[in-house]
Amino acid sequence: MEDEFILTLWVTKPPIYKVLWGFYPVFTYVHVERRIIRMKMGVYKITNTINGKRYVGSCADRKRGLNHRWWRHIYKLKRQNHPNPHLQNAWNKYGENSFKFEILEECLPENCLKQEQYYMDTLKPEYNISPTAGNTLGVKCSEETRRKISVANKGRILHTHGNYKFENIKTGDVVICAKFELANRYGLDRSSVSKVCNKTENSHHGWICLGKK
């Protein structure tokens, strides 16, 4: 449950002659109204209304809720840096008006991943990258995880929607992609990758920027 306090202001409008003669004091009355707002948490579905394909996710954020999660999806899709390439490609092809957001089930935060997995197993959403529930956005990878990812991608030139060319001076990897795509793929800090692109930092975990493509 979240409390929201709304400030309401009333100003009296007495006859002007009473104010001038001092018979009627001018005053304001401030009223604070307390409303209870419950932020919804649970499992949601994003559906492509053209082809019926879906994406399933969950939100356990008590402060922001499901509506904010939908807004974040839209924000990232419009900026062309959504971490899910399947959803981003579909958004680019069919347009914003072809997608709708639905709440599948409201549940407690501790049950969100369990219920998300249930709906993923039941609906088998086409836009989800992994068949396992869980969101890794914002989770920083360890050096060992970065090393394993680097080994898996060594020698590959990855082409995505981005327009920067990166090279890892430690491993020799070459990647052509958007800066945030690089951060998501290798578990890097987005701010540091941006600084590398802007030449305010020389490198980040061995990655350097060779310029725009």
Q: How high is the pLDDT of residue 154? A: 53
pLDDT band at 201 (very low <50, low <70, confident <90, very high): confident
Q: Is the pTM of this model over 0.85?
A: no
In whole angstroms, give the CA distance from residue 185 to residue 161.
13
Is 20 exposed, middle or buried, given 0-12, 13-18 or 19+ CB atoms closer than 10 A?
A: exposed
152-188 per-position pLDDT tens digit: 555 544 444 457 888 888 788 888 888 888 877 777 8
Average pLDDT in the chain: 75
Q: How high is the pLDDT of residue 188? A: 80
Q: How high is the pLDDT of residue 12? A: 45
Q: How high is the pLDDT of residue 15? A: 55
- Of 38-52, 91-105, 183-197, the poorest mean pLDDT is in 183-197
As given in the structure block, the two tokens for residue 118 are 């249930």
SS3 for the chain, per residue?
Answer: CEEEEEEEEEECCCCHHHHHHCCCCCCEEEEEEEEEECCCCEEEEEEECCCCCEEEEEECCCCCHHHHHHHHHHHHHHCCCCCCHHHHHHHHHHCHHHEEEEEEEECCHHHHHHHHHHHHHHHCCCCCCCCCCCCCCCCCCCHHHHHHHHHHHCCCEEECCCCEEEEECCCCCEEEECHHHHHHHHCCCHHHHHHHHCCCCCCECCEEEEEEC
* Model confidence at 53: pLDDT above 80: yes
* Model confidence at 140: pLDDT above 70: no
78-121 per-position pLDDT tens digit: 988 888 889 999 999 999 999 999 999 999 888 888 899 999 99
Catalogue all structural domains in the chain, each as residue range(s) with its CATH number.
Answer: 2-37 (no CATH), 42-123 (3.40.1440.10), 143-212 (no CATH)
Contact 206, 192 (CB under 8 A): no
Average pLDDT over residues 46-59: 94
pLDDT band at 19 (very low <50, low <70, confident <90, very high): very low
What percentage of the chain has pLDDT greater than the value 90?
A: 25
Average pLDDT over residues 133-149: 52
